[in-house]
Each structure stands twice: as structure tokens, then as C-alpha cells.
Homo-oligomer: A and B are copies of this chain.
Amino acid sequence: MTEVLQYNDGKVLRGAIDVVREFPLVLRVNDRELVTLVASPHDLRFLVAGFLWLQGFVASADDFLVLSVCNDYGIANVRIKGELPHELKPVLTSGCGTGVTFSLPQGRQTPIPRSGIAVGAVFELMRQLAQTSDRYKSHGGLHSAAIGDVEGRLLLHAEDLGRHNTIDRLAGEALLKGIPLEGTILATSGRVSTEMAAKAAQLGIAVVVSRTSPTDMAVRICDESGITLIGYLRGAKLTAYTHSEYILFS
């Protein structure tokens, strides 16, 4: 609890309230200090696994020889098969979230083959994302994301202060639990930026859906990667930006 002073139209009150936690985690990989991730403090092994997977440093759960997170010291110790590239130049992304990657995101070369997805499944997954996030509301004002199957059933859910951390968390949990992500739907509470789109493409996700807007680069990446990108899903409405041919409306 944090002591605060509250002011309301001339009246001054003192009290104590909960504040959202931000946790710095030093990530050591093969004895090298790679980065410090700043994230929400729960389930950090999923974040670490997903981050390293989506950076291309591991390709499967077997590539982790050691993956340990010490919350007390704020250190993740990871040992992976193979070596990290010698030089890593960070890309500082614009979006609302972790905001770094070591290479500029690219579209996927070979879009995953698939048949259509019923529009109802997309609405259903967003409904479940909102409902699940509501249950976590105690955290306060976090970003949330979910993976659903083609029927709109929720498979994975993640919350974090950082929008991109939610995707890393979903990816990491899927990797460690052996849940296949190809052809699934990714639902997110926030804006779809480059990183979100590129990470979805890397994961073989078929549909990305958000309550709000995508950026122009995200539209291009989804277009090139064969991803159906949907924004502004509210009530019974949505806007499809790319590959609407995969949406089944009847």
C-alpha cells in the first residue's frame, strides 16, 4: 500500500492505495548479461522463455538447458544450446510495451495455409479475453492478450504492464507446455504495432484481433504474412485490414 493525498473539488483527504508493480529482471544467458526486462512480477519464466524464443535465440523448449528465475534477486539465469550472436543492436519499438527487439520485425515468408475462421469465433474470443481480464482486475490497468482456437475457445491468457510482454508470455507458456500456436487467433486489448504483428507472424498465428487500431507497418506485416488483421472490434462491429477472405461471415 502507498500513502497518498487525495483532492476532490477543494477537499483534501489522506489514505493508502494499491499501486501497480513494475519488476526489473536481469536476463543472463550463457553467462552473458543480455538485457534487463521490466515487467509485471508474476510468472516470469513464461516471459523469459517467450522473449528468447521470439528473439530467435531458441527454437524449442529443448534448447533450454537451464531456465531459472530468482524473484528475490531479480535475475533470470538461462543456459541455451548454441551461442548468442556476438553483437546485438537493439531496436526501440514505438508501441505500448516492452519495446525492444534485436532485429527489425519482418513478415513471414511462407504464410500458413488455412481455411476460413467464422466471424463468431473472433467475437467469442474477444468476449472471453474481456471476461478473463475482468477477473484479474485487482492488478489494475494492465494489458492483456489471449490465444484462442478456431472456434474462439480461449487457450492461453496473459497480463502485463507491457503490451509486448503479454505476447512474449503467451509464446513462452505455449513453448514450455507444448501448445501448438499455428493457425490460432491472437486477441489483444491494445493497439497492434509492428512488434505484435511480427511476433504473431513468427508464431504462425492466423488471425490478430484488437479492440483498437493497428499501425501502418503492422498492416503491411500482416498483409505479407497472410495474417487476417482485425481492429476496432466493439459490440457487433469489427474492421478487417488484411486477408478478410479468410473470415466466414455466414
Residues of A within 8 A of B (CB): 2, 4-10, 12, 17, 19-22, 24, 33-40, 89-100, 104, 119, 140-141, 160-165, 191, 193-194, 212-219, 235-241, 244, 247, 249
Q: Least Cβ distance of A47 to chain B in Å?
A: 10
In the docked arrangement, what's the CA distance between A213 and B8, Å?
A: 16
Decide if B213 touches A244 in the complex (CB within 8 Å): no
Contact of A22 with B100 at beta-carbon distance under 8 Å, contacts A236-B8, A236-B9, A237-B6 already known: no
Which B residues are in CB contact (< 8 Å) with A191? 20, 141, 161
Decide if A216 touches B19 in the complex (CB within 8 Å): yes
In the docked arrangement, what's the CA distance between A104 and B74, Å?
A: 13
**Nearest chain-B residue to A238 (Cβ)?**
B7
Which B residues are in CB contact (< 8 Å) with A119? 7
A237 is contacted by which of B7, B98, B240 (Cβ under 8 Å)? B7
Which B residues are in CB contact (< 8 Å) with A93? 38, 98-99, 162
In the docked arrangement, what's the CA distance between A212 and B99, Å?
A: 20
In the docked arrangement, what's the CA distance between A94 and B36, Å?
A: 10
In the docked arrangement, what's the CA distance between A217 and B23, Å?
A: 8
Which B residues are in CB contact (< 8 Å) with A4? 239-241, 244
**Nearest chain-B residue to A165 (Cβ)?**
B94
Known: A19-B216, A38-B217, A95-B96. 16 other contacts (CB 8 A): A5-B247, A9-B236, A10-B249, A20-B191, A20-B213, A20-B215, A22-B95, A24-B194, A35-B92, A36-B104, A93-B98, A94-B97, A95-B97, A96-B96, A96-B97, A161-B193
